Amino acid sequence: MKHLFLLFFFWGCTLSAQNTKTKQDSITVLDAVELKTIAKSKLETDLKKSVTVDEFLASSNNISFIKRGGYAWEPLLNNMSTERSAITIDGMHVFGACTDKMDPITSYVESNNLSSITIKSGQEGGQQGATVAGSIDLKRKKTMFSDQETWKGAYQTGYEFNNQQFFNLGNVSFSNTKLAADGSISYRKAENYSDGNNDEVNHSQFKKFNTSLGFSYKTSALSAVKIDAIFDVAKDVGYSALPMDLWLSRALITSVSYKQLFEDKTIKLWDSKLYYNTVEHYMDDTTRPENLVHMDMPGWTTTYGLLSKVKLQKDNLSSEIQLNAYDNLSIAEMRMYPQDYSETTMFAYSWPWVTTRYVGLSLNNALDISYNSQLNFGGSLGVHYNYSKYVEFNWIFHPGAPQEKTRLLPSLFANYNVQLNDFDFSIGGGYGHRAPSVSEGYGYYIYNSFDRYDYIGNPDLKNEVSYEANASASYKTEKIKIEGNLNYFYIDNYIIGEILSMGSPMNYQSVGVKGYTSLDYATLFNAALNLEYAITNNLHLNGTVTYAKGQDQDQGNLPFIRPLSYLATLHYQYKNLNFQTSINGDLEQVNYSPQYGEDQTPGYTIWNFSTDYTFRIKNKKTVFQVGVENILNTYYSTYADWGNIPRMGRNVFTSLKINL
């Protein structure tokens, strides 16, 4: 099977061209480098204008979520967990500080400081760092320099009735010929939500404050420096599916960059960025009196990095070379308190001061073979280094494991794209390695409340090696667009936890100890079919069906693979009024994985409706929206709801956005 796909891959690489056409507009070509990119430019979904980053990501076909509560969902790209994808903010690597994945990177930004989210599937995302599933790059808002002094702003507020979420988001930007600055500030506060049976789901509240700031200064006609900062605080966040909540998490994400453009040269752009970010995360179990043990579980990560890229363009080839380097230190502690508080506390590291360093050079090329066909190809080579300061923790389960480990992470991809009349076809393949994450390599008694095992990392894990093939076809006319996407991953040394025969649990809720090990291989297949149909000028229908299957070497099912899911949206516009209604749902989960702690999740269907009205207050564009999610108040939980926590029942939401 593996060889078949290699063959497939090379066939994809060597498909030849017929015609030639040069594109004059360099900007178009530069954009073409990011072809096959699912860039969502407006941070809103079909249904909802004011969305959280999570809700927005959820509207992508490739993304599904593990949900542990009402906040900070873990994005799964191509049905693979966050270890397998490179999640970055403007290309910067940021690492969550929670061993239990309570703080994916997406939880440290807010929709009003992002301009778009770029999702690349598979090895095409290798530019951002070694990956298997692909990359998710959260792009911060940028303000362009302007000839005239310009001053813009937006204010968004809203209320959601189910969880009494109240939010206020504000943006300002200022620009003139020399200076461009933007800032955002936001605050969200939500109480517990209620499920479809109108029962309150305890520990699902959250409070989030986020602010960001960016200053650009034009140093010459073709160059600029930029300073960026994002600061995020979440407090008193409930995780209904976990045995503990969050007391406080904070992230400070900063960067300084220098951009130089070139005119009339092969080199078009040179953009370099130095960045620093630090994340702290403090869990809190004092809200759970039922817990037998009181435990402090703080975590910290600190990352320094460098990004430098040049864009080149000559004739029909455009290239992007990117240097990606970072140094990360991840620390997580656990301190258990005995029932008799006068006794000594019990202490251990769950991440024993693990340093990760990565330096990678990547090359992405877009070659216009003919007026209607392109070849995108490229690759990267990274050096990945780990150092465990307190390696004696790792020696308990893996005596003699090395304190330092250096890995070489190569990656290759190619993709051929051809347009024939109304049809568009593409076929591609990829090959890439990824190193184990800090938890997979060096984690120590990390409690996973999903399968209720304590997880132990293995420093000697082999690289996960992915062979991937993808294909897509679309048909597009003025009225209709149909698009189908397929991808298939064959992953050698697929890392997963398996029950260890030695050791005994440390966390009282757990039932045993699992060690991260490598399966011989695993396979993953994802398919998506999209339909966009303009019934009339004012009436649009969108539909999506996705299917996925993941199997281990023994044809057993992998966990967290989305069952067949569907989404259909009908949109009607009447003057300044928009009406949207959608249904979405999953079928019954057939291919679930009891071996990895899953139970079968029944199917569900949710019906939603919203309407919005655009008007002007003193010449300021204003949009008011009101809608209902889960109109029928269906009680359901999805395949990826941790511990089968029920999702939100009927929710009436309102939002108001004023562009100042």
Q: Which residue ranges make up the site for other proteins (CB under 8 A)? A: 151, 172, 174, 181, 183, 185, 211, 213, 215, 229, 231, 233, 248, 250, 252, 280, 282, 292-293, 296, 298, 300, 331, 333-336, 338-339, 343-349, 390, 392-393, 395-397, 399, 445, 500, 502-506, 508-509, 511-512
Query: Using CA atoms, how far apart are residues 353 and 444, in angstroms rounded to an integer?
Result: 11
* Closest distance of CB 494 from other proteins, Å: 24
Nearest residue (CB) to other proteins, 291 versus 573: 291
Q: What angle do CA 79, 542, 420 make, to 5 degrees?
A: 85
Q: Is 48 helix (H, G, I), strand (E, B) or coil?
A: coil
Query: Using CA atoms, how far apart are residues 124 and 135, in angstroms rounded to an integer?
Result: 8
Q: Please return the burial class of 317, using the count of CB atoms within 10 Å of its CB with bins 0-12, 13-18 and 19+.
A: middle
Per residue, what are the HEC states of 583-602?
EEEECCCCCCCHHHCCCCCC
* Closest distance of CB 390 from other proteins, Å: 7
Query: Using CA atoms, how far apart are residues 395 and 484, in angstroms rounded to an integer?
Result: 48
Q: Where are the beta strands (DSSP E) in 262-316?
A: 267-284, 294-296, 298-314
Amino acid at 411: S
Instruction: Please answer whether residues 200 and 77 qualify as being in contact, where contact means their C-beta atoms are separated by less than 8 angstroms.
Output: no
**Residue 603: CB partners within 8 Å, gap ≥ 6?**
563, 585, 586, 587, 588, 589
Nearest residue (CB) to other proteins, 331 versus 524: 331
DSSP 200: B
* CA 273 remoteness from chain centre: 21
Nearest residue (CB) to other proteins, 175 versus 426: 175
Instruction: Please answer whether residues 660 and 155 qualify as being in contact, where contact means their C-beta atoms are separated by less than 8 angstroms.
Output: yes
* Closest distance of CB 107 from other proteins, Å: 17
Q: What angle do CA 306, 308, 313 make, to 5 degrees?
A: 170
Per residue, what are the HEC states of 203-233?
CCCEEEEEEEEEEEEEEECCEEEEEEEEEEE
* Closest distance of CB 552 from other proteins, Å: 25
Nearest residue (CB) to other proteins, 295 versus 640: 295
* Closest distance of CB 190 from other proteins, Å: 21
Nearest residue (CB) to other proteins, 209 versus 270: 209
Q: What tokens were used for 346?
A: 């019990």
Nearest residue (CB) to other proteins, 346 versus 408: 346
* Closest distance of CB 510 from other proteins, Å: 8
Q: Is 56 helix (H, G, I), strand (E, B) or coil?
A: helix
* Closest distance of CB 437 from other proteins, Å: 21
* Closest distance of CB 215 from other proteins, Å: 8
Q: What angle do CA 625, 630, 633 make, to 5 degrees?
A: 130
Query: Using CA atoms, how far apart are residues 17 and 275, in angstroms rounded to an integer?
Result: 41
Strand partners, 487: 470, 526
* Closest distance of CB 294 from other proteins, Å: 9
* Closest distance of CB 241 from other proteins, Å: 20
Nearest residue (CB) to other proteins, 191 versus 333: 333
Amino acid at 277: N
- Which of 158, 151, 195, 154 is closest to 174 using CA atoms? 151
Nearest residue (CB) to other proteins, 46 versus 327: 327
Nearest residue (CB) to other proteins, 264 versus 290: 290
Nearest residue (CB) to other proteins, 63 versus 295: 295
* Closest distance of CB 301 from other proteins, Å: 12
Nearest residue (CB) to other proteins, 366 versus 456: 456
Query: Using CA atoms, how far apart are residues 86 and 428, in angstroms rounded to an integer?
Result: 20
